Chains A and B, each alone.
Chain A
Amino acid sequence: MNAAVEAQSMAYDELHGADGTIHPAYRAYTEWLAEVPPEMLQQKRLEADLLFRRLGITFAVYGDESGVERAIPFDIIPRIISAKAWDTVGKGCIQRVKALNMFLHDVYHNQDIVRAGIIPEEQILSNPAYRPEMKGIDLPGNVYAHVAGVDVVKVSDEEFYVLEDNLRTPSGVSYMLENRRMMMRLFPDLFSKIQVAPVEHYSDMLLKSLQAVAPASSSSMPVAVLLTPGAFNSAYFEHAFLAQQMGIELVEGQDLFVKNAVVFMRTTEGPQRVDVIYRRLDDDFLDPLAFRSDSMLGVAGLLSAYKAGNVTLANAIGTGVADDKSTYVYVPEMIRFYLSEEPILSNVPTFRLSRPDDLCYVLANLPELVVKEVQGSGGYGMLVGPKSSEQEIEEFRKKILANPNNYIAQPTLALSTCPTLVDEGIAPRHVDLRPYVITGQEVSVVPGGLTRVALREGSLVVNSSQGGGTKDTWVLEADAC
């Protein structure tokens, strides 16, 4: 049996559940499905593709010379999650993000967690995402990760594992919103049959949270903006979409300037003060005076305004110290330490290659493991052992040996499978899930999130840059008895 088949056969199938019968969450949907002609589905699939293109819901692929933009493949079969399972995931994500925000505050203040001996000091200080500039700065509400994307995988009827936390500038939420809109347009009849928890209020929640963390010195109607790297960024569609949904300005670095440690935007009526910046630009590029001096995307002097407490950045600078893959292993401990609670969601067992024992084990078992760069994202710079040739494994071995601290490894996790419409008909494909957690005055999450699906048979890589697609994620309002 080859590895791909094995990975798939081991994986939990969301449609058939553990015992092989149709999972209750999918029952109403499959009943509907049995009654529609198969050509209608293919027809709707084409319609969706056409609509996405006309709407210009696209992303750019870096390094792809041919086309500037591509439409992300959209699968018209929803991924359905029972109300009960969601209850666990939603609460688990909220718990996790609460602890991570407390950890970030601690990292840049007393470092109690280091004093308590739970996390070694060098884990924090030697982390490239640690920002000494943030030391001692107090942020409104002590919030660092205002928007967090927690990637989870379903491993059984009720159980989810957390794959990673995204606390920098997590993207994809526009697809969650557009996918729902698309489904309601394509299958209005389904929504009258099945009660699906709505997600459209995400942008209201986000705006409310951004306003709640405005600096004390701002007016009673704080001005929030969304800072984008520009129209050529791969996620530009999302930036424009969110700014429009929230009714805030979509700005580029060149639209902002800092005077007397206050941020202004250049408007047709002259300068206007800015209080909150929802930035979709990495730390490194924010301020050429403080970070990368070659950044053309940032705003000179932004850090000085930030330090003076005259502007709020969401997310804060330096959140990367809490979401990289070497910090990930400590998150369950953080939850116990800061919240005195037991983690609701489990981590995937993770080997840290900085530890000699772990390194030894991993090098001996590369063909069975997934190895990731500690700082990597987007599915780049990772090795999926079971899917790689001997030569690829050997090349990766050299990279690991050159800098073991830069890697972690995990067992090839059997991402669950969901029914997906492919050329041959409906077939199981691997999926993950990214719920979006928003922190302002309170911590909240909209039901569901973004489901990414690996469209190639047997593939475990769901990233859109690597041939992944998306699905609408349905959380049922109430479970059928």
Chain B
Amino acid sequence: MLSRTAEHLFWMARHIERAENMARMLDVTFRMRLLPSSINQPIEPWAQPWAVPLITTGTASAYYALYKELNADNVLEFMVSNPENPSSITNCLKHARENARTVRGTITSEMWESLNSTWMEYGNPGPEILETTRLGEYFEHVKQRSHMFRGVTVGTALRDESFFFTRLGTFLERADNTARILDVKYHILLPTPQDVGGAQDHYQWGSLLRSVSAFEAYRKIYRDTIHPRKVAELLILRRDMPRSLRHCATEIYSMLSRILGNTGHEALRKAGDLNARLEFGRIEDIFATGLHEYLIDFLDRTGELGAEIHQEFFASTELEMRLA
């Protein structure tokens, strides 16, 4: 497969996955706003509910370059539709579609149609979408379209390299997003790990779980009230939880090992290492290290893996040099 094609496939998948995760994160923040203010009382002064999406995506400085005030309307505008924000939902939908358009001959027509129609219907929603009555529906649509794209991909794509690179993008992006959400939320919710209980915790932790579609899974697995440690375990180590770091790492490793050829050895090694750490990791050790430190280390590793994938598959100049 052409290196450039592989790169477009990878970013196509990353962008639609990112759009979904943005929608999830904003949706729960938005829903939290509907609860009484006692629930929304920030524990730390910097942890205003509407700062969370900015901190999670690392876009706070870009935000303050554009807006003076931190409030719901501004953050929603910035994260949903502001063209200056490269990670805004509309930009993600646009990039996903543009990448798909470039490789439309490689993906199935159903995959292309799904991203093209998503962009046509939700890529330029207009200011009225930010109204309270419509926003929830918009997030729902974006999530569903992302589900649809994944479903169409799994249901129609030939299991060749184009599929592997697409899935690689999906899971690398998801791993990154889950780790970020967990890190920021944890930071805000648990300045001291002993604080447990209370209605506020229930809603806050519940919203974290909901943002990664894990609320029902938590209940099913633990049959218990929400404990921060179990939440972390669920989202980090559980293999059966499709948005957990473990699940993502396993998929990443599996995709990389199926990409044949004489390249990518280091990327495969890094992915295997990442997977092994999660496979044999224990939640006690993670908390002993410190959850924040653990997650930062994880994000560094996925970042390096991404760079390695880029180096070995997308910019494979090294092999050209070896050509006699």
Contacts and interface: CB of A to CB of B under 8 A. Distances in A.
B2 to A, nearest CB: 5
B113 A266 contact: no
A86 B298 CA distance: 67
A266 B3 contact: yes
B5 A249 contact: yes
A53 interface: yes
Contacts of B261: 268-270
B106 A268 contact: no
Nearest to B324: A260
A54 B120 contact: yes
A44 interface: no
B112 A267 contact: no
Contact of B3 (A53, A231, A267): A267
A460 B155 CA distance: 47
A56 B109 CA distance: 10
B105 A270 contact: no
A252 B316 CA distance: 16
Interface in B31-47: none
A302 interface: no
Interface string A125-164: 0000000000000000000000000000000000000000
A402 interface: no
A56 B101 contact: yes
Nearest to B7: A268
A265 B104 CA distance: 19
Interface stretch (A239-247, A314-322, A441-449): A239-247
A268 B259 contact: yes
Interface in A227-272: 231, 236-237, 239-241, 243-244, 249-252, 254-255, 257, 259-260, 264-271
A260 B320 CA distance: 12
Nearest to B322: A270
A56 B116 contact: yes
Residue among B3, B106, B109, B120 with most chain A CB within 10 A: B3
A269 B113 contact: no
A1 interface: no
| Interface size range on B against A | 20 to 34
A233 to B, nearest CB: 11
B102 interface: yes
A360 interface: no
Contacts of A266: 2-4, 316, 320
A255 B2 contact: yes
Contacts of A54: 113, 116-117, 120
A268 B161 contact: yes
A239 B101 CA distance: 11
Contacts of B323: 259, 264, 271
Contacts of A260: 324
Contacts of B98: 231
A481 interface: no
B11 to A, nearest CB: 13
A259 B322 CA distance: 11
A252 B3 CA distance: 11
Measured as residues with beta carbon below 8 angstroms from the partner, the interface class of chain A is: 20 to 34
Given A231-B102, A270-B262, A56 B2 contact: no
Contacts of B3: 255, 266-268
A271 B105 contact: no
A254 B5 CA distance: 12
B263 interface: yes
B260 A252 contact: no
Contacts of B120: 53-54
B319 interface: yes
B105 A243 contact: yes
A34 interface: no
A149 B1 CA distance: 31
A221 interface: no
Interface in B229-284: 259-264
Given A54-B117, A267-B1, A244 B106 contact: yes
Interface in B286-324: 313-314, 316, 319-320, 323-324
A254 B324 CA distance: 20
B92 interface: no
Contacts of A364: none
B5 A55 contact: no
Contact of A269 (B102, B103, B263): B263
Given A54-B113, A249-B5, A264-B323, A270 B316 contact: yes
B6 interface: yes
B4 A255 contact: yes
B320 A257 contact: yes
A218 B6 CA distance: 26
Interface string A36-72: 0000000000000000011110000000000000000
A55 B109 contact: yes
B51 to A, nearest CB: 36
Given A270-B262, A270-B263, A265 B2 contact: yes
Contacts of A243: 105
A254 B7 CA distance: 13
Contacts of A241: 105
Contacts of B106: 244, 250
Given A54-B113, A54-B117, A259-B320, A267 B2 contact: yes
A252 B103 CA distance: 11
B116 A252 contact: no
Nearest to A244: B105
B116 A268 contact: no
A56 B104 contact: yes
B117 A269 contact: no
Given A231-B102, A268-B259, A268-B263, A55 B113 contact: yes
Most chain-B CB neighbours within 10 Å: which of A53, A244, A252, A255? A244
A470 B264 CA distance: 47
A287 B223 CA distance: 67
Contacts of B4: 252, 254-255, 266
A259 B262 CA distance: 20
Most A CB atoms within 10 A — which of B103, B262, B314, B323? B323
13 contacts: A53-B120, A244-B105, A251-B2, A255-B2, A255-B3, A259-B320, A266-B2, A268-B3, A268-B259, A268-B264, A270-B319, A270-B320, A271-B319
Given A231-B98, A266-B320, 13 more contacts: A56-B101, A231-B102, A243-B105, A244-B104, A250-B105, A257-B320, A260-B324, A266-B3, A267-B316, A268-B3, A268-B264, A270-B316, A271-B319
Interface of A: 53-56, 231, 236-237, 239-241, 243-244, 249-252, 254-255, 257, 259-260, 264-271
